[in-house]
């Protein structure tokens, strides 16, 4: 049985949940992290979420979890058969993990989760996000998904971030191809279920949504 340890409103948990949904896999999700805390025997030395368990196999680091699910259960779909396509998917997974995450996640924390910040700090991050997402926009020109016509693991890790980017009340540059891709993701039932989860606009609302999402698989 596949088990995911992680609260439902974590963007990193959402990547794993969405991958499970796209692959139509059975799973159990336990509320861990944030207001739910961590069990003493939590099997992830970083004490962050998500952690994925597939019987005896323990996986942590959200992108490693998505890669694991794609490689193990999504050959030819989330894990492309074509080598060039697989390499490209891997590049965009690493891209998600680096500069864009350092710009976007602090911005989200400042705008929604009460991380103290000056307006200048916020606006610097907004500009940086626009600049980084313009690279993704360029990659998506003439493509349905990041690596071509097929949804891959690269779309999973970037798409989880895209929902928040497009729903935050911030200025964004013109990103026509990224916007069309995002609209395509919004039509997918697994994305609607696992990623398009309301998060509120301040810490109090965030906490209310976190509690409301408890026990939902
Ligand atoms: N690099 C890690 C980062 C994980 C991470 O920072 N997760 C956040 C939630 S998105 C977390 O666990 N925060 C503390 C908590 O929820 O208790 C990964 O991708 O899995």
Q: Is the Cβ atom of 12 under 6 angstroms away from ligand 1?
A: yes
pLDDT computed for residue 147 by the predictor = 97
Tokens, residue 187: 């039509």
- Can you list the residues of the chain whose pLDDT is less than 70? none
**Å from CA of 208 to ligand 1 middle:** 19
pLDDT computed for residue 101 by the predictor = 96
> Rounded to two decimals, what is the model's pTM?
0.97
Counts for the chain of helices (H) and strands (E), in that order: 9, 4
pLDDT computed for residue 217 by the predictor = 96
Q: Is the Cβ atom of 52 under 6 angstroms away from ligand 1?
A: no
Q: Is the Cβ atom of 11 under 6 angstroms away from ligand 1?
A: yes
pLDDT digits over 151-164, tens only? 999 999 999 999 99
Contact 41, 91 (CB under 8 A): no
Diameter over CA atoms, the chain: 49
**Å from CA of 199 to ligand 1 middle:** 16
pLDDT computed for residue 9 by the predictor = 98
Domains of the chain (ranges, CATH numbers):
2-76+202-211 (3.40.30.10), 83-194 (1.20.1050.10)
The DSSP call for residue 52 is: E
Burial 138-172 (b: 16+ CB within 10 A, else e): ebbeeeebbbbebbbbbbbbbbbbbbbbbebebee
pLDDT computed for residue 8 by the predictor = 98
For the CA of 49, the nearest atom of ligand 1: 12
pLDDT computed for residue 4 by the predictor = 98
Q: Is the Cβ atom of 130 under 6 angstroms away from ligand 1?
A: no
| Alpha-carbon gap, residue 54 to 37, rounded angstroms | 22
pLDDT computed for residue 41 by the predictor = 96
Place of tokens 């969405």: 18
Tokens, residue 24: 């139509």
């Amino acid at each position: 049985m596949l088990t995911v340890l992680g609260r439902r409103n974590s963007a990193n948990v959402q990547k794993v949940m969405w991958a499970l949904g796209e692959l139509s896999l059975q799973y159990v999700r336990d509320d861990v992290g944030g207001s739910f805390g961590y069990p003493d025997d939590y099997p992830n030395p970083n004490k962050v979420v998500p952690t994925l368990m597939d019987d005896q196999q323990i996986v942590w680091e959200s992108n490693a979890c998505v890669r694991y699910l794609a490689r193990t259960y999504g050959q030819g779909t989330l894990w492309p058969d074509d080598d060039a396509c697989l390499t490209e998917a891997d590049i965009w997974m690493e891209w998600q993990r680096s500069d864009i995450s350092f710009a976007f996640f602090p911005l989200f924390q400042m705008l929604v989760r009460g991380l103290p910040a000056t307006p200048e700090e916020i606006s610097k991050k907004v500009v940086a996000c626009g600049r980084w997402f313009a690279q993704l926009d360029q990659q998506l020109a003439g493509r349905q998904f990041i690596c071509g016509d097929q949804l891959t693991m690269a779309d999973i890790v970037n798409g989880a971030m895209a929902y928040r980017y497009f729903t935050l009340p911030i200025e964004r540059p013109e990103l026509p191809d990224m916007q069309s891709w995002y609209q395509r993701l919004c039509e997918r039932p697994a994305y609607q279920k696992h990623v398009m989860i309301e998060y509120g606009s301040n810490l109090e609302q965030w906490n209310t949504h976190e509690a409301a999402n408890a026990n939902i698989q």
